[in-house]
Amino acid sequence: MSAASPGERAYDAMRLAVVPWLRERRLRKEKERCEAARFSERVLSAGRFHSLALRNDGRIACCPNRVLGPNREGQAPPDGTPGDFVAIAAGGWHSLVLRSEGSVACWGLNHDGQAPPDGVEGDFVAIAAGALHSLALRCDGSVACCGQNNDGQAPPDGVDGDFVAIAAGGLHSIALRSDGSVACWGDNYDGRAPPDGVDGDYVAIDAGEAHSLALQRDGSIACWGLNGSGQAPPDGVEGDFVAIAAGGWHSLALRSDGSVACWGRNDIGQAPPDDVAGDFVAIAAGHEHSLALRRDGNIACWGQNFFGQAPPDGVAGPFGHQ
Measured distance CA(182)–CA(159) in Å, rounded: 13
The answer to whether residue 95 sits within a structural domain is: yes
Whether residue 16 is contained in a domain is answered as: yes
Distance of CA 153 to the CA centre of its chain: 18
Question: Any idea what the CATH number is for the domain that residue 19 is in?
Answer: 2.130.10.30
**What whole-number distance in Å separates Cα of residue 105 and Cα of residue 153?**
21
For residue 105, tell me if it sits in a domain: yes
Q: What gap in Å lies between CA 88 and CA 46, rounded to an integer? A: 10
Phi, psi (degrees; rounded to nearest 5) at 214? -145, 130
What is this structure's pTM?
Answer: 0.88
DSSP 279-301: -EEEEEE-SSEEEEEETTS-EEE
Q: According to the model, what pLDDT value does residue 71 have? A: 47
202-258 pLDDT per residue, tens: 999 999 999 999 999 999 999 999 999 999 999 999 999 999 999 999 999 999 999
Strands of 85-90's sheet in order across: 85-90, 94-99, 104-108
How far is CA 249 from its chain centroid? Answer: 15
Domain contains 312:
no
Q: 137-169: b or e for each residue (b if 16 or more CB lie within 10 Å)? A: bbeeeebbbbbbbebbbbeeeebebebbbbbbb
308 in a structural domain? no
| Integer Cα distance of 90 and 320 in angstroms | 16
Q: How many domains does the chain have?
A: 1
> Is 289 a member of any domain?
yes
Q: Is residue 223 part of a domain?
A: yes
Whole domain around residue 61: which residue ranges? 6-303
Neighbours of 25 (CB within 10 A): 10
- Is 314 part of a structural domain of the chain? no
Q: Mean pLDDT for the chain?
A: 88
Instruction: Return the number of other C-beta atoms located less than 10 Å from residue 101's C-beta.
Output: 10
pLDDT in tens, 251-288: 999 999 999 999 999 999 999 999 999 999 999 999 99
**Average pLDDT for residues 119-143, to the nearest whole number?**
97
Task: Kindly report, residue by residue over 154-183, the tens digit of the pLDDT.
Answer: 999 999 999 999 999 999 999 999 999 999
- pLDDT at 68 > cutoff 50: no
Residue 189 has pLDDT above 50, yes or no: yes
Between residues 263 and 16, which one has the greater pLDDT?
A: 263
